[in-house]
Structure formats: structure tokens, C-alpha cells
Structure 1
Amino acid sequence: MKMLLMVEFPHEPFNAHVRSGKIGEIMNRVLETIKPEATYFTEQDGMRSGIFLIDIEDPSEIPGYAEPFFLNFQANCKFRVVMSAQNLQDAGLEELGKAWG
């Protein structure tokens, strides 16, 4: 199942990792571990943020994605299920509309 993993990094300890010169090493290790299909970094509500497209087969995999961010950055992680355009076409919206509209 495709999911967006949205991560908000608190200023600390992120700033400390930047100052120590270890941010690249830590972030590379995390990305090599979670192997996202796509990675974007941005700002969200005044905080550094990352958006990662991941593919999980079982909910038991979620801690493996979240813990590297929790333990290294004390980050907040949010998981959102996403659909492709094809997934939306396959959802049967017309039939749902007839049944529930």
C-alpha cells in the first residue's frame, strides 16, 4: 500500500546534528534504511519537514519507518494512504454514487 510519510523535525536535535556535521550521515542512513520511492524536503508550520513516498505491505512495518525519525530527531511522523489516478478509477465511484447518492 502506498503511503505518504510526513515528518516534522523539531529544531533540536536537528540543529545539533547540523552543527556537529553529522546531519548528512544520519539522514543518509535513515533514507538507505527506509528506501522511499520519492523524497522531498520542505518547510511546514515553520519547521523542517520531509515527505516520503513509501510502500508497505503490512502495518507491522510502520515502526521500521517511524523509529529512525523518532530516535534520531524526536520527530513527529504522520502516515497517509495515497492512491494513484488508476487506483481512483478502479475504486468504482460511479457504483458507490448510485448506491449511496
Structure 2
Amino acid sequence: MRVLLQAHFDTDKANEIISSGTMPKLMQEIVGAFKPEATYFTAAGGVRTMFLVFDMQDSAQMPPLTEPLFEKLGAEVDYSPVMNTEDLQKGLSQLQAG
């Protein structure tokens, strides 16, 4: 299932990691574990935020993927199932005309 992950980083923890110079390596490790089809970084709600779109094969992936975000970045994390245009068209084709 295609999933959108939103991770809002704790400012103090992120500042420490940036100051230590380890943020690039940490982001490479975290993003690499997800194998995302798309990754975006921005500020949302006043904090550093990462958006990832990836294919979740099994909900059992959530703990190993998410724990580094909680532990290292003090992140608040949300998962949402999402569709691309192809998925939407496939879903709409399954609706019966009312």
C-alpha cells in the first residue's frame, strides 16, 4: 500500500544533530530504510518536517522504520494511506453508477 509518512522533528534534537554534523548521514540512513518513491523536506507547523511516500508491504514495517525518527529526532509521526492518479482511476472504476 502506498503510504505518506509525515515526520515533524523536535527542534532541539534536530539542532543538536545538525550542529554535530551527523544530520546528512542520519537522513541518508532513515530515508534509505524507507526506499521511498518521493521524499520532501520543509517547515510545517513551525518545525522541520519530512514527507515520504513509500510502499508499505506489511504494517510490521512500522516499528523498525519509525523508531529511529522517534529516538534520534524526537519526531511526531503520522502515516496516511495515499493514492496516485493511477490508483484513483482504478478505485473509481470499481464504483457502480448510482
Q: TM-score, normalised by structure 2?
A: 0.89
Aligned mates of 1:75, 1:84 — CA distance in 2: 26
Q: Show structure 1 runs of 4+ deviating over 3 A.
A: none
Q: Using the TM superposition, name which of 72-81 and 83-92 deviates more.
A: 83-92
Q: How many residues in Structure 1 have an aligned counterpart in Structure 2?
A: 97
**Could you say which residue in structure 1 is the equivalent of 2:67?**
67
Residue by residue over 1:12-70, the C-alpha shift from the partner in whole angstroms, topping out at 9 and shown as x without a partner, is 21000111111112111112222211110001011000000110111111112211111
SS at 1:88's partner residue? helix
Structure 2 segments unaligned to the other structure (5+ residues):
none
Structure with bigger gyration radius: 1
Q: Percent identity?
A: 30
Distance 1:71 1:33 in 2: 15
Does the CA-based 8 Å contact 1:34-1:64 persist in structure 2?
no
Please report how far the alpha carbon of residue 71 of structure 1 lies from its aligned counterpart in structure 2 after TM superposition: 1.2
Q: Give the C-alpha shift of residue 94 in structure 1.
A: 4.5
**What's the TM-score once normalised by structure 1's chain length?**
0.87
